[in-house]
Structure 1
Amino acid sequence: MMAWKNQTFKSDFILLGIFDHSPTHTTLFSLVLGIFAVAFVGNTTMVLIIYLDSKLHTPMYFLLSQLSVMDLMLICTTVPKMALNYLSGRKSISMAGCGTQIFFYVSLLGAECFLLAIMAYDRYVAICHPLRYPILMSQKIYCLTTASSWILGSFDGIIEVSVAFSFSYCGPREIPHFFCDVPALLTLSCTDTSIFERMIFICCVIMLLFPVAVIVASYTRVLLTVISMGSGEGRRKAFTTCSSHIMVVGMYYGAAMFIYMRPTSDRSPTQDKIVSAFYTILTPMLNPVIYSLRNKEVARAFMKLLGKGNSGE
């Protein structure tokens, strides 16, 4: 960590951002703030509903509440700093601030990758082995697997921050992004980062492709089981639950693979910023919307919560 010590914390980085102050970009910035507000309120509401309603204290909703917590933390890691820099006209971020952003961003991405795989396995057990569900998804098992996803994500975050800041950074120190992302930061390094880039690729294989394999295997079994169902209502309900999850998974993993599993030579700062905005800002907003609109239990619990609020006035 000598390079870290040699670079004082006064040596700020410059985040070039994604918007300028043209009328079009001002409108787009306002849209991003609107999406942030919807994502913040939606995910907070989901966590509260699941926590307060005892009927939702099941493995599926516990996992869903964890997804909402991760989305809340993820969107709060990037958007507030971007908004502050845009509104204040200052584009700087300290080295400590940059390292903090990288840690939380990478940790949450990794944790959510594993959590989505756990959620797919949960649906597989519930639909394909309903009688064994209380055993295969006991409280101990789903709490342990969820804790493991947080721990593995945090471990990945610690490694990437430690290695990324072991390099020397020189030149204008301008990061072509709206937050501190490792691939964008590495473009500023004065030293050879090829070995670290290969390590990132290997981490992505583990943290992206392995969960995707679990998800594909789980939903393949689910679809085969659903097709053989005699009940039309059961088939419809299973398809509704699974389709919402597949929608989230497709957007999330597709965007993450596009960012982290391409060679450096093929990277475009503009493309990276747009795709990153998609899955760090838009996906956290869509998650609670998709699950709440398609889930009668969540809608019931929400109306019950509103009823309590109105009766208490």
Structure 2
Amino acid sequence: MTMMLVIRAHAHLHTPMYFFLNHLSFSDLCFSSVTVPKMLENLLSKRKTISVESCLAQVFFVFITAGTEACLLSVMAYDRYVAICHPLLYGQMMSTQRYVQLVWGSWSLGILDTLINVPLATKMDFCDTHIIPHYSCELPSLFLLSCSDVSTNLTVMFCSLVPHGLVTSLSIFLSYARIVSTILSITSTSGRSKAFSTCSSHLTTVILFYGSGFLRYLMPTSGSSLELIFSVQYGVVTPMLNPLIYSLKNKEVKAALKRTLGKYFQCF
């Protein structure tokens, strides 16, 4: 939330990169708000229960926010590619209309995946009380608890999520392949380090999110502790670290944050 307020309050941060970062921060805020409160409640209470309706609501919002975040990370990689590989054409290739379309396209794809998978999940039958071996409700875990046929659900999830994940991760890989190629062709050491520093924050976030997300959804669901670790990684740890990663590695954000806090404390 602080990142969003700082970006909104400073006009020099109204650029495509920070526009994407603003939406990534909002997505992280929503992602955490969906699962963390219920997780904390369960940690503090003896009776750890959740209704089927609440569980499906968690799945609904996790799909939207996680799917949108995957697209936003892909879009941000493209933005870095344009900035480093085509700096003179950056204003033309990343116009206001273009980057607004990319952001709303990311949200639309996240919503589309949700509307494909979650309505099917609402038709599953749960015959008895079950134990979910996770801190939150996720679609692969619910399949194991259903007493109805879930083969259609599995096929639809595979056909919607795998292309989504592969296309976004492949676009990130291609963007960074071109970026690395361009950086290596820079003769000055200071120019190389500056170019690398502009990508390091985003690359760290990509590794944390995609690494744990792919391992969680591509490995067979068995309720192992490893699955829980991966879920906590992309559902709690990554949204918590993203603002720190982008603020501590970015001089403009740090300067804007200092000015904002300075104005705030002057009021008192």
Length-normalised TM-score, structure 2: 0.96
**Aligned residue for 1:133?**
90
Q: Residues of 2 paired with 1:62 and 1:161: CA distance?
A: 29
Q: Residues of 2 paired with 1:234 and 1:288: CA distance?
A: 26
Which AA in structure 2 matches 1:55?
H
Q: How far does residue 171 in structure 1 lie from its aligned partner after superposition? A: 3.1
**Aligned residue for 1:243?**
200
Which AA in structure 2 matches 1:184?
S
Matching residue within 115, 118, 123 for 2:80: 123
Contact 2:113 2:161 (C-alpha < 8 Å) held by counterparts: no
Q: Residues of 2 paired with 1:196 and 1:86: CA distance?
A: 31
Is residue 2:57 matched to residue 1:100?
A: yes
**Aligned residue for 2:176?**
219
Is residue 2:246 matched to residue 1:308?
A: no
Contact 2:184 2:192 (C-alpha < 8 Å) held by counterparts: yes
What is the identity percentage for the equivalent residue pairs of Structure 1 and Structure 2? Answer: 45
Is residue 2:127 matched to residue 1:170?
A: yes
Contact 1:201 1:261 (C-alpha < 8 Å) held by counterparts: no
Contact 1:109 1:153 (C-alpha < 8 Å) held by counterparts: yes
Contact 1:75 1:284 (C-alpha < 8 Å) held by counterparts: yes
Q: Residues of 1 paired with 2:46 and 2:104: CA distance?
A: 40
Contact 2:212 2:234 (C-alpha < 8 Å) held by counterparts: yes
Contact 2:133 2:223 (C-alpha < 8 Å) held by counterparts: no
**Aligned residue for 2:150?**
193
Q: Residues of 2 paired with 1:90 and 1:56: CA distance?
A: 46
Q: Residues of 2 paired with 1:260 and 1:195: CA distance?
A: 17
Q: Residues of 1 paired with 2:220 and 2:228: CA distance?
A: 16
C-alpha distance after superposition, 1:157-189 (max 9, x if no partner): 222221112111123322221111111111111
**Aligned residue for 1:16?**
none
**Aligned residue for 1:84?**
41
C-alpha distance after superposition, 1:15-51 (max 9, x if no partner): xxxxxxxxxxxxxxxxxxxxxxxxxxxxx11111101
Matching residue within 48, 68, 73 for 1:111: 68
- Structure 1 runs of 4+ aligned residues shifted over 4 Å read none
Question: SS state of the match for residue 93, structure 1?
Answer: coil
Q: Residues of 2 paired with 1:47 and 1:312: CA distance?
A: 21
Q: Residues of 2 paired with 1:263 and 1:93: CA distance?
A: 24
Q: Residues of 2 paired with 1:204 and 1:160: CA distance?
A: 9
Q: CA RMSD in A?
A: 1.3
Q: How far does residue 237 in structure 1 lie from its aligned partner after superposition? A: 1.4
Q: How far does residue 80 in structure 1 lie from its aligned partner after superposition? A: 0.3
Length-normalised TM-score, structure 1: 0.82
Q: Residues of 2 paired with 1:164 and 1:113: CA distance?
A: 22
Matching residue within 278, 292, 298 for 2:253: 298
Is residue 2:200 matched to residue 1:259?
A: no
Higher RCO (CA-CA < 8 Å; seq separation 6+): 1
Contact 2:134 2:223 (C-alpha < 8 Å) held by counterparts: no
Which AA in structure 1 matches 2:115?
I
The more displaced of 229-238 and 52-61 is 229-238
Q: Specify every segment of 5 or more residues in structure 2 that has no aligned partner in the other structure, as ranges.
A: none
Number of equivalences: 268
Q: Specify every segment of 5 or more residues in structure 1 that has no aligned partner in the other structure, as ranges.
A: 1-43
Is residue 2:211 matched to residue 1:269?
A: no
Q: Residues of 2 paired with 1:99 and 1:145: CA distance?
A: 28
Q: How far does residue 230 in structure 1 lie from its aligned partner after superposition? A: 2.7
Is residue 2:9 matched to residue 1:72?
A: no
Q: Residues of 2 paired with 1:292 and 1:240: CA distance?
A: 13
C-alpha distance after superposition, 1:226-274 (max 9, x if no partner): 111133222111101212211111111111111112244xx33322211
Question: SS state of the match for residue 145, structure 2?
Answer: coil
